[in-house]
């Protein structure tokens, strides 16, 4: 073994790769352009594709139709509705006309007193067209006896995300981030666009909703992981924040587009087809060079490094043999996909805690989204404000994560969500409190978004390179398995008692606060590279200590700052290149 190889292995191949990235620019024009194109703008369009199928399944106010030849002006003035529709208590405790039943009366003589005999809506349904002209719900009457049709599609979307994340998440660590990303674009567009033509065949519509949601999570994970792996460590939280800016913009824009268009057919096309544009940037759509090096594909790694160096205007003077010496492929560790996340007691404990935190984040997130469509008032503005609150939440999340650490931020936000649910439970049945309830629901969403920001960072930072995408994906898999309960929680709230979803969210968030506090802190920690480093990660951390910044850096001629260990690694790289 040569001296160069010994040096490379002693310093750690991951640290050596960081020095290579620093020499060609780890915060240059390439990273900035990649971030804007794929981590912000592409995410904006993907976000609209994710939520569009959920928005079109909102159930507008409705009631039974009466025969079209019936002249309502000849009935008992404005009281004809009392003759036709029985009264019942809704989920908010209000005594209103039934949405799904009508009296079994003769429409030839509505002046007769109503009987106690009721029937279903044998003449079809009338829908409130204030906000929607046409949706699959109004076209196919997915209400009353068919009200679970939309709820089942919501659950199918979640199951699809589970299956896609399980398969594509592992493929991202095996065949690469880029192929998975390109496949994600294709499945999203095909599933959403073809669903437009199949609403009459419910199960075909549901199957296409499944296909369109199959790659939801990897379409976000892949570009974020790539840009993190080619950027300096100090930018990790900022890069996550940039992606969440794109997500928030898409989530806020989608309901406004539907409000403007009022027709689900064109809305689905406008919010799905633009994703294909992101096949058109081959000079920036790269595979992660760090992943290629970890797989021993040094030639391919050099090609990607040269792309980055060229755009950044930096020289890359090493060849494949020098790269192999500087970044020796670690001894191949046999991994078993998701099973490897449970190798050893410590990693098993961390994985279980992280999974529980993801579950406690996803159930309230999905429940709040669906509740915003059913809470009364303008459903588009309700959904817009639920989305708009995400950006300030993510900004606060970044500040807290960078100052207090990921762990305390995550647990504290879960606790805040629990406390915000309590006044909603007390107020929501009292008339005149709709504005306060809406505001408190937004506060709950705010805290849940803070937990999401911290969780996403922890998922990426806690696992070794060979399991990074698998680990992040598995957390989302399990979260979506339990997140499929969200539509049924909302169903209970809209059909029985609207307080029930907030009771459930308060209990779930409390469990999340407890689980998150026992996760290790990842702020200012070196990302684990090998399985052994992953098994040891966080073992020596003390519980109540706020993480401190690393040792004082040394200023370089380029104005960048490096720790003494970083400077030593860069010196090795320069010697090898020479």
Q: How many CB atoms lie within 10 A of CB 575?
A: 11
H or E, element range at 555: strand 554-555
Looking at domain 333-541, its CATH superfamily turns out to be MFS general substrate transporter like domains (1.20.1250.20)
121-133 burial: b if 16+ Cβ within 10 Å, else e: beeebebeeebbe
For helices 202-213 and 177-195, angle between their N-to-C axes, nearest 10 degrees: 160
Percent helix / strand / coil, the chain, rounded to 5: 65, 5, 30
Q: Assign 2 to helix, strand or coil.
A: coil
Nearest to residue 195, comparing CAs of 255, 151, 152, 135? 135
Place of tokens 């204030």: 130
Q: Can you give the pLDDT at residue 54? A: 85
For domain 25-61+136-279, give the CATH number.
Answer: 1.20.1250.20
Number of alpha carbons in the 13 Å side-chain half-sphere of residue 449 = 27
Q: Is the pTM of this model over 0.75?
A: no
Averages of pLDDT over runs of 10 residues in the chain (578 residues) are 37 72 87 91 93 87 75 53 76 74 67 66 86 89 85 86 80 84 92 92 93 87 87 81 88 92 92 90 84 86 89 86 78 64 82 89 84 72 84 87 87 94 84 78 91 84 75 75 76 76 90 90 76 74 69 48 48 47
The burial class, CB within 10 Å (0-12 / 13-18 / 19+), for 24 is buried
Ordered DSSP codes for 127-162: E--SS-SB-HHHHHT-SGGGTHHHHHHHHHHHHHHH
Per DSSP, helices labelled H in 56-112 are: 80-84
Q: What is the pairing mode between strands 561-562 and 554-555?
A: antiparallel
Going 144 to 146 to 150 to 152, the CA torsion angle's sign is positive
Q: How many CB atoms lie within 10 A of CB 83?
A: 17
User: Are 219 and 46 contacting, i.e. CB atoms less than 8 angstroms apart?
Assistant: yes
User: In the 3-class helix/strand/coil scheme, how is 233-281 assigned residue by residue?
Assistant: HHHHHHHHHHHHHHHHHHHHHHHHHHHHHCEHHHHHHHCCHHHHHHHCC
User: Are 207 and 301 contacting, i.e. CB atoms less than 8 angstroms apart?
Assistant: no
Structure tokens at 263: 């027709």
User: In the 3-class helix/strand/coil scheme, how is 383-440 assigned residue by residue?
Assistant: HHHHHHCHHHHHHHHHHHHHHCCHHHHHHHHHHHHHHHHHHHHHHCCCCCCHHHHHHH
Q: What does DSSP assign to residue 27?
A: S
């Amino acid at each position: 073994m040569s001296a160069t190889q010994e040096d490379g292995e002693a310093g750690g191949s991951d640290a050596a790769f960081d020095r290579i990235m620093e020499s060609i620019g780890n915060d240059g024009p390439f990273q900035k352009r990649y971030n804007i194109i794929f981590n912000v703008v592409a995410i904006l369009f993907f976000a609209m594709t994710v939520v569009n199928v959920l928005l079109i399944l909102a159930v507008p106010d409705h009631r039974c139709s009466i025969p079209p030849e019936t002249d309502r002006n000849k009935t008992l003035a404005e009281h004809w509705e009392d003759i036709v529709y029985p009264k019942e208590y809704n989920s908010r405790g209000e005594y209103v006309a039934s949405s799904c039943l009508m009296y079994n009366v003769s429409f030839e003589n509505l002046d007769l007193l109503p009987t106690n005999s009721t029937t279903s809506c044998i003449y079809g349904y009338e829908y409130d067209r204030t906000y929607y002209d046409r949706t699959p719900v109004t076209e196919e009457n997915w209400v009353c006896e068919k009200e679970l049709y939309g709820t089942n599609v919501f659950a199918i979307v979640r199951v699809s995300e589970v299956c896609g994340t399980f398969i594509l998440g592992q493929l991202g660590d095996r065949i690469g981030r880029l192929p998975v990303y390109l496949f994600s674009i294709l499945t999203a567009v095909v599933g959403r666009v073809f669903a437009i033509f199949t609403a009459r065949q419910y199960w075909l519509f549901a199957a296409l909703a499944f296909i369109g949601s199959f790659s939801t999570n990897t379409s976000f994970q892949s570009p974020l992981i790539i840009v993190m792996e080619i950027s300096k460590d100090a930018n990790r939280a900022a890069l996550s924040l940039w992606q969440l800016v794109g997500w928030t913009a898409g989530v806020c824009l989608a309901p406004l587009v539907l409000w403007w268009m009022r027709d689900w057919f064109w809305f689905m096309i406008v919010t799905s087809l633009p994703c294909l544009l992101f096949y058109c940037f081959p000079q920036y759509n790269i595979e992660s060079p760090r992943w290629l090096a970890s797989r021993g594909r040094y030639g391919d790694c050099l090609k990607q490094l040269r792309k980055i160096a060229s755009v950044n205007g930096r020289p890359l003077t090493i060849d494949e043999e020098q790269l192999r010496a500087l970044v020796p492929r670690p001894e191949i560790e046999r991994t078993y996909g998701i099973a490897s996340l449970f190798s050893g007691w410590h990693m098993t404990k961390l994985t279980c805690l992280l999974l529980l935190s993801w579950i406690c984040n996803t159930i309230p997130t999905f429940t709040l989204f669906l509740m915003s469509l059913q809470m009364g008032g303008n459903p588009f503005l309700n959904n817009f404000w639920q989305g708009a609150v995400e950006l300030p939440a993510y900004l606060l999340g970044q500040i807290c994560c960078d100052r207090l650490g990921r762990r305390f931020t995550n647990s504290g936000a879960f606790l805040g969500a629990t406390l915000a649910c309590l006044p909603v439970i007390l107020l929501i049945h009292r008339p005149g409190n709709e504005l306060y309830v809406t505001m408190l629901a937004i506060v709950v969403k705010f805290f849940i978004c803070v937990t999401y920001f911290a969780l996403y960072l922890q998922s990426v930072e806690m696992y070794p390179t060979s399991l990074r995408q698998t680990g992040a994906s598995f957390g989302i898999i399990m979260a979506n398995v339990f997140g499929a309960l969200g539509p049924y929680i909302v169903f209970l709230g809209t059909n029985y008692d609207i307080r029930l979803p907030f009771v459930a969210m308060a209990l779930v968030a409390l469990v999340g606060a407890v689980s998150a506090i026992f996760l290790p802190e990842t702020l200012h920690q070196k990302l684990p590279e090998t399985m052994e480093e992953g098994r040891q990660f966080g073992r020596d951390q003390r519980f109540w200590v706020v993480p401190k910044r690393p040792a004082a850096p040394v200023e370089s001629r380029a104005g960048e700052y490096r720790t003494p260990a970083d400077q030593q690694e860069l010196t090795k790289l320069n010697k090898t290149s020479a």
